[in-house]
Chains A and B, each alone.
Chain A
Amino acid sequence: MEEQQNIRTEETGQKPEAKPTPAPIAKVMERQLFVLSSAPHFKKPANVSLIIWLVVMTLLPTVGFSIYNFGLRPLVVIITGMLSAMVAEELVNLIRRRKLTIADGSAALTGLLLALTLPPGLPLSMVIIGASFAIIVGKQIFGGLGYNIFNPALLGRAFLQTSFPIPMTTWTTPRTIDAITTATPLGSFKFEKILTPYIDLFIGKVGGCIGETSSLAILIGGLILALMRITNWRIPLSYLGTVVIFSGILWFIDPALYPDPVFHLFSGGLMLGAFFMATDMVTSPITNLGTWIFGIGAGILLVIIRQFGGLPEGVMYSILLMNGFVPLINRYTRPKYFGEVKK
C-alpha cells in the first residue's frame, strides 16, 4: 500500500510533503480495505498458457497423420519427447528453487515440436537426451520461458543431428507406400535426382521426420493459428514466398539441376518450420518490418543450404541462424511513433 502511494506521487511529479498533516476527516476511513493499484484497473485475463496449449492442439492433425503414415512408433517418440521435456523443465525449476511451470505448457510444446522433427525410428534414449538438451540448454539457461534466443526444439534437434548423425538420418519406410527406397524426398533428389510425385508430397505419403511429411496436416493447424492471429502470418508468408521466388529463379536457370519451387515448398520440414518453428513468438521479431526481414532471411538461407550446402535439408539451420539476428532486427526496425519527426 505504501509502495503504491509512492508510485502515485512519482507519477504526478510532485514531491511528497515532508510531514503530511493528518486529514481532519480521518474518521471517515473506517472502510479502508479498498484495493489500491495503478491504472488500468481493467485487463483481459492472462492467457499465455492458453496460447501455448492452443498451439499444441493445432499440432494434433500432424500427430495424427504421422501415426497413419508410420504406425504407433511416432506416438511413442512424441510421448517420450514431451514427458522428458516436462521432467527436465521441472528439474531445473527445482534446482533454481522456482515455482513449477509445467502448467504453462511450454515444455510440453517444446517436447512435441522436437519429436515432430525426429526420424520415427530414433532410439528413445536419444529422444530423451534431445528433449532435455532443448529445455535445459535451449531455454532454461537463458532464464526460462520468454528469455531464450533460439528456438529450443530446433536447438535440441541440432544437438542430436551433430551428436548422432547416423540415427538422425536413418529413415523408416512409411506404411502408406510400398517403395523400397527409404530416403526423404529431398535426399533422393539431392543424391539420386529422383523427384517424388507432388500429390504424395502434399498429403505426406513419403519418408521423413515424424511431423514434417504432411504439408496438408500442417497447413490445417498452421492456418488456424495464423487466422486466430496467434502467430504472425507475415513470417510464414515471407519465408515460404522467398523460398518460392529464390528457388524459382534457380529452377528457371537450370531445371535439371535445381528442383522446382513446388517441390521445395512441400518437401522436407519447410511447412512445419514456417508455420510452427519460425513463428515462435519468443524467438521471432516483435516488429512487423522485423518479421518480414526474418522470413526473407530464413528463406534465402534455406535455399542456399538446400542447393549449395552439403545437407539435403536446411530448415533447422536457416531458422536458428535468423533467431540469432532477432535482437538486432528488433533494435533496428523500431516503427515510427505517433508524430515522430526526423531529427
Chain B
Amino acid sequence: MKLKTFKKGVHPAEFKQFSEHKNIEILPVPKEVFIPLQQHIGAACIPIVEKGMEVKTGQLIGRSGGFVSSTTHASISGKIKTIEMIPHPLGINILTIHIVGDGNDDWIELPEPISDWENLSIEQINDIVLNAGIVGLGGAAFPTQVKLNPPKNKTIDTFILNGCECEPYLTADHRLMVERTEEVVIGVRILMKALGVSRAIIGIESNKPDAIDIMTRATEKFWGIIIQPLEVKYPQGAEKMLIDAILRRKVPAGGLPMDVGVVVNNVGTALAVAEAVLKRKPLIERVVTVTGQGIREPKNVLARIGTSFQNLIDFCGGLTDEAVKVLMGGPMMGVAQSALSVPVIKATSGIVCLTDKNYIATKEYPCIRCGACIRACPINLIPTRLARLSQFEKWDDAEQCGVTNCIECGSCAFVCPAAIPLVQHIRIGKMRVAEVQRKQKIEEKIIKV
C-alpha cells in the first residue's frame, strides 16, 4: 500500500531503537503516589476524599469538575497523607493527593465485567468512559467522553486511531499495538460503536512494520477497520496533520476534527477504553517509555499514575553521569523537568533523558530569511515573521498572520539554521493573542446584554 502523509513537516532522528523491541515491564506497586487533580485539559477534578482517609486501588478520589473534565482514581491502596499544592510535570503547582501505600494493593470491588459490550448503549459507554477517568493518552489529555459526545449538528463518519507516535524516542503506543493487539482492536470497536461510525482507520508510521503487520492481521475479520501505513514524518501524530494525511480533509482554522466528521484517539486511549468496558477497570496505570541516551536501561514500563519519575528512572537502572535533561514526553514537544519528584500523570507518554551530546546548543545568528521554517511549518505559517511580531509585541499583526493556529510542534525551531527559538517566541505570542481574544469576546457579550 502506498504510504500517505501530510505536506511539509520535518524528520528528526528517530532514536526508537533503544526501546522499540523491549516488552512492556510492570513496575512494582510504588510505596507512595502523588495524584494531581488536574491531569487533563478542562476543569480540575474536585477531591471527594480527605486527609487521613483509607483508600483502595481504583477508588474514585476526584469527581468531574465540569463538562470538559474527567475523574481521578487512587492508583494504590493506602492512606491519604496530604492534599496540597505540589510541583506538576507541566511546571506548575497543582492540588495533588498524596497516598502512602499499605503495600497490599487492595482493589476496590469493581462492577461486574461486561463481556457483551456490543449490547451497550452509547450513553452507557460514555458513562463508563467518564467514570473510568479516561483522557487522551497521547499527550494532550483531552477528556475522551467529550470527544465521544459531539454536538448534534456534527455528523461523524470516520474514527481514526492514532498510532503514529511521531515523536522521537517514544515507543509506548508501538509496544501496545504489538503486545496488546486484541484489546486495542476491541477498544477501537467500542469507540466506533460509541460514535456510531462504520469506518475506522488506524494510522501507523512505516517505521513500525511489526505493528502494521500484527494490527493488519488482527483487524482482517472486521469489515470497516483499515490499517493505513504512513510515511515517517513529524508532526504526523498531530490530529489535524493525521486527518489531512489519511483523508485529505482540512480541519478549519480554529475548528475541531469533528468539524470534518472525524474523531481521533490514541492507541493508549483505545486500550484504556477496552479495559474500562471489559474489566470495568478505571485508568490508574499507563505505559511510559523511559528512554534516551541518559538512562542506563531504556524500557517500556507499565506504571501506576502518580509514581514519581525517580521511581521509574531507578527501575530503569538510573541516569547515566552524562544525563543533563529529563523530559516528560518526546524531545520535540516534551517539558523539561527540574526535579525527579514529579509524578507520572495520565499524559506522560515517556520520560526521555537526554545527554548534552543530544542537545547541540549553538550560538544564535540573526535571521537570514532563508525560509527553512516556512518549508517546515505543517500549518503553512511564516514562523520567522510570527516570532518577530511576538518579540515586538505586535499582537494584532500576529493574529492576522494566524498565530493562534500554531500547533507548537517545534518544526520551525528544529530546522532554523540560525538557531532562533522560533516556536518559543510564537508560543508566547499565541498565548497573548488568545488572552486578548478572550477579553474581546467577554466585552462583546457585555455590550450585547
Contact = CB atoms under 8 A, between A and B. Distances in A.
Interface stretch (A83-91, A140-148, A270-278, A315-323): A140-148
B113 interface: no
B379 A43 contact: no
Interface string A243-286: 00000000000000000000000000000000000000110101
Nearest to A45: B360
B201 interface: no
A39 B362 contact: no
A54 to B, nearest CB: 11
B415 A44 contact: yes
Interface centre among A12, A43, A286 (most CB of B within 10 A): A43
B350 interface: no
B331 A40 contact: yes
Contact of A340 (B324, B382, B402): B402
B424 A145 contact: no
Interface stretch (A18-26, A123-131, A156-164, A296-304): A18-26
B253 interface: yes
Contact of B424 (A1, A21, A38): A38
Given A41-B325, A145-B365, A28 B414 contact: no
Nearest to B325: A35
A188 to B, nearest CB: 38
Contacts of B98: 24
Given A28-B341, A35-B356, A286-B382, 14 more contacts: A11-B431, A13-B435, A21-B86, A23-B341, A24-B82, A35-B359, A43-B360, A43-B415, A46-B418, A330-B385, A337-B379, A337-B380, A339-B405, A341-B252
Interface in A1-48: 1, 4-5, 7-14, 16-17, 20-21, 23-26, 28-29, 31-48
A24 B84 contact: yes
B168 interface: yes
Interface string B406-449: 00101001111111010110011001001100000000000000
A223 interface: no
Nearest to B327: A41
Contacts of A12: 90-92
A28 B431 contact: no
B405 A42 contact: no
A287 B382 contact: yes
16 contacts: A5-B338, A10-B428, A11-B427, A12-B91, A17-B85, A28-B341, A35-B325, A43-B415, A48-B417, A145-B366, A286-B385, A337-B253, A338-B240, A338-B251, A338-B378, A339-B240
A32 B338 contact: yes
Interface in B350-375: 354, 356, 358-360, 362-371, 374
B405 A337 contact: yes
B27 interface: no
A334 interface: yes
Contact of B369 (A29, A43, A286): A286
A44 B417 contact: yes
**Most chain A CB within a 10 A radius of its CB, from B90, B327, B339:** B339
